[in-house]
Structure 1
Amino acid sequence: MAETVSPQPRAVDETPEKPSYASISNPSTYTQKSDGKLPLKLKHVIYVHGEPTVSFNFLDMESYIQEENLQYALVAKFSYGRPDMIDLRKSFTRHFAIKGDCNLGLLDHRHVLVRLSNQEDFVEVYSRAVSFITIKEKGVNNQYQCRIQRWTPWFNPKEETSIALAWISFPSLSTQMFAREALFSLASAVGTPLQVDKATTGKSRPSVARVKVEGHKEEECRLTMEVEGGLIDETKLWDKVRRRFAINFG
């Protein structure tokens, strides 16, 4: 049977036949925030085929993520039992040696939303993909396994994430390319660069640079680096230097 398309066109700011309770109780598109700061500008409600619809864009999502302190959010998954949230809040900060603020909230019986306040804590907790948290219950120390994963706006507790952390190495890289901007630029071709290792930062291992990145799991990927404009080695002038790196990710 052929699908029937509704003849009713998309109507913008169409007035419904009967005023809704929302339109009566909130006649203005502006309302004061509960904290008394800047006023909120409410989104317009439009009617599509007679149904009220509210639209949001990516800039809205970014703003809401910041407002809800989700820039450094992670999810702790407890597949084999979860401790009481009061006990977990006491132990989680100590277990991961978190320095800044940390807020834990229950998403469902297995998943706990972890809101951190800074990049350092975020990378430290995120890097410990699987942890066993010890909690004393009725005089007995019980261990609970939790797996840390990245929170995203499209997080679905019923699906496994393909996002993971990995260290990628750049062997025999020219010494000047150990600059943070250069390394992060190279690593950004693979994923989101988060940090360089201590040996790279401390310049104690000039033979190889290592960068921790976040990206989608792949068995192998390749990266080509090009340097333009007259690099000089001991014997000749190069107009372009090309280097290829094979990167294992996962």
Structure 2
Amino acid sequence: MEERQDFMIEEGLHQAVVFKLSHGVPDLKVLRSILPKHLGTKGNCLIGLLAPRQFLLRFDLYEDYVLALSRSVNYILNNGEEYQCKVFPWSIGYNPKEETTLAMV
């Protein structure tokens, strides 16, 4: 039964990325409005909090998912403050307390 639960959790997250900020955090409402514009997404992008400074972005369109991953290191600007962030694919074994070893090739 546990395998089925893992599958159910992972279902719908095959086009999800982790967006990790190096410092500070703009308000979640602000991130939800600026991130899709910053990434240039064409479809819907759901954004949720995983852990402090770490967000899960789930895309409806595969091309938006690929576009987000092609920008492995980003800088976003909000109210004169610049935030460095990393983007990497979400995986079922993701642990927000550990540094990821996943990288896009």
Does the pair score TM above 0.5?
yes
Q: Which residue of 2 aligns with 1:229?
A: none
Shift of 1:87: 0.8
Displacement over 4 Å in runs of 4+: none
Q: Does 1:88 align with 2:31?
A: yes
Q: Which residue of 1 aligns with 2:81?
A: 142
Shift of 1:60: 4.5
TM-score (norm 1): 0.40
Q: Is the 8 A contact 1:75 1:114 kept in 2?
A: yes
Identity of aligned residues (%): 36
Q: Which has the larger radius of gyration?
A: 1
Q: Which residue of 1 aligns with 2:65?
A: 122
Q: Is the 8 A contact 1:74 1:126 kept in 2?
A: yes
Matches within 5 A, 1:37-186: 55-57=1-3, 59-66=4-11, 69-136=12-79, 141-166=80-105
Partner SS for 1:149: strand
| Count of paired positions | 105
Q: Which is helix-richer, 1 or 2?
A: 2
Q: Is the 8 A contact 1:88 1:135 kept in 2?
A: no
Q: Which residue identity does 2:82 align to in structure 1?
A: Q
Distance 2:8 2:60 in 1: 16
Q: Which residue identity does 2:59 align to in structure 1?
A: L
Partner SS for 1:88: helix
Shift of 1:126: 0.8
Shift of 1:62: 2.8
- Unpaired runs of at least 5, structure 2: none
Q: CA RMSD in A?
A: 1.4
- Unpaired runs of at least 5, structure 1: 1-54, 167-250
Higher relative contact order (CA 8 A, sep 6+): 2
Q: Is the 8 A contact 1:132 1:146 kept in 2?
A: yes
Distance 1:70 1:128 in 2: 19
Q: Which is strand-richer, 1 or 2?
A: 1
Q: Is the 8 A contact 2:88 2:104 kept in 1?
A: no
